[in-house]
Amino acid sequence: MPRAAVHLVSLLWVALAAGSVAANEAATAQTDALPEVAAIATDAAATAQTDALPDLAAIATDAAATAQTDALPDVAAIATDAVPLSARDILHRALENRFDLDALAEIEIRVRSRGGELDIKRARIASKRVDGLVYSFGRFSYPDELRDMAMLRLQNADRTDDFFAYIPEQLRVRRLAMPQRSDMFVGTDATYEDIERRQVDDYTMELSPSRRIDGEDVFVVVTLPHYDESGYERVDYLVAKSDFAIIEQHHYRMDQPEPFKIIRSPRAHLVEMQGHLVPMRIEMTDRLLGTITELRIKKIDINLSLPDSLFTTTSLSRERKLPRVK
């Protein structure tokens, strides 16, 4: 029985029990006392019953209103579920799920060339949202020639981002010129554009027919970047219908019917953490170069408290160590 209905029944039972007590007192008064007393008791019982009626009506009205109010969110939820999702709705949920978190991670980057040679880099990285902007700090631990090299990126709302690097051999911090978005990031298949935090307002978009990948139904959101200096004419986001996880991204260049780069986040390596689906492995394939980059997250903590002072050039110059990942 709904909670509001139980509340109403309880109050009705109390009111009717009070009327019953009054009626019994009237009957006893008629038998054991003077007629006048019986009449008084009878009048009292009638008055109690009469006075109770408005209260019962009010109770019933309030309970009905409460039941209607309590039901509204459920009705709204049903209505929302019934409304088809737009391309914007789907992409917003997918990007929020992927990027709206702070993180500290130990990562390994594996780059395999067309000839099969394997290059491995390891680093500890941290990212934090500060006033709606993303700050990132990373320090390499492998290979030896990159050990203790660190990079800092500070996103800006009204101008290009700030990049800084610490070079151990030079013992100083250098401000880096803002790279082109299409430039490769530290010898991988990822460009600087690929590692930027994307927003739905960066694109115009539409929905294409749904597809099925590895037995999973996905939305296909076709986007056209309209920010400056994009290296892509079009990016397709393939988003799982079950939980809005980004399963694949297909990147196209001008007048190419097929994507030249595919970024995959295999379902087997998606881990649920605090309401987010975190990809512990991301695979990038450049079909033109014949190279493959694999990002492996060895350990990760999310939404932990990272001090703002970590994301400063002072932290770079002092060779400040990032906290250990639990």
pLDDT of amino acid 160: 79
Q: Return the C-alpha torsion angle 42, 44, 49, 53, nearest 10.
A: 150
pLDDT of amino acid 88: 97
Which residues are CB-neighbours of 244 under 8 A, at least 6 positions away? 90, 93, 94, 97
pLDDT of amino acid 262: 98
Is 2.60.40.420 the CATH number for 91-317?
Answer: no
pLDDT of amino acid 36: 45
Half-sphere exposure of 124 (CA within 13 A, CB side): 14
pLDDT of amino acid 81: 53
pLDDT of amino acid 55: 52
12: left (phi over 0), alpha (psi -120 to 50) or beta: alpha
pLDDT of amino acid 290: 96
Which residues are CB-neighbours of 324 under 8 A, at least 6 positions away? none
The 3-state DSSP class for residue 323 equals: coil
Give the strand pairing for 172-176 and 162-167: antiparallel
DSSP conformation letters of 192-205: TTTTS---GGGEEE
Contact 253, 232 (CB under 8 A): yes
Q: Which helix (H) or strand (E) holds 32?
A: helix 3-32
Q: What is the mean pLDDT of each run of 10 residues along the chain (326 residues)?
A: 34 33 38 41 46 47 48 41 85 92 96 96 94 92 93 87 90 84 86 86 96 97 91 97 97 94 97 94 96 97 92 87 85
Contact 238, 210 (CB under 8 A): no
